Amino acid sequence: MEEYDRNLRKSFGPIIMFDKDYARAFMELEDQSYKEGALSIKTKRLMCVSISVILHCKSCIAFHVKEAAKEGATRKEIMESALLAGTMGGGPAAAYIQFVIKACDEFKIR
């Protein structure tokens, strides 16, 4: 999962080279989205774990599991987010819960 996280982080390089304005605007949107507000940053990151599972995005799962843990999310909180995604997304989403477990293991989230 570390490789997926690294690849996601590196994937923006070509976008920056192609269109710096787009990349800057995207990063500003991301910065605004993850600000503390009515929802805590941790809650937002847990929501992103769920969305990543529903979208079947391994790189997103790795990135958002790691970011959720940085915000203090426990393995149990991360797994509950993933299980909820499995419920809402059905079998195809539930099949991606294994990657959340793998990310928690690799990133040593307890």
Q: What is the pLDDT of residue 6?
A: 82
Q: What is the pLDDT of residue 8?
A: 79
> CA 24 to CA 96: how far, in whole Å?
31
Tens-digit pLDDT string for the chain (110 aa): 888 878 877 888 899 999 999 999 999 999 999 999 999 999 999 999 999 999 999 999 999 999 999 999 999 999 999 999 999 999 999 999 999 999 999 999 99
Q: C-alpha angle 88/90/91, rounded to 5°? A: 155
pTM: 0.91
Q: Domains of the chain: which residue ranges?
A: 2-106
Q: What is the pLDDT of residue 4?
A: 80
Fold of 2-106: AhpD-like (1.20.1290)
CB 8 within 8 A of CB 60: yes
Q: What is the pLDDT of residue 20?
A: 93
Q: Tokens in use for 24? A: 């800057």
Q: Tokens in use for 80? A: 């509950």
Q: What is the pLDDT of residue 10?
A: 86
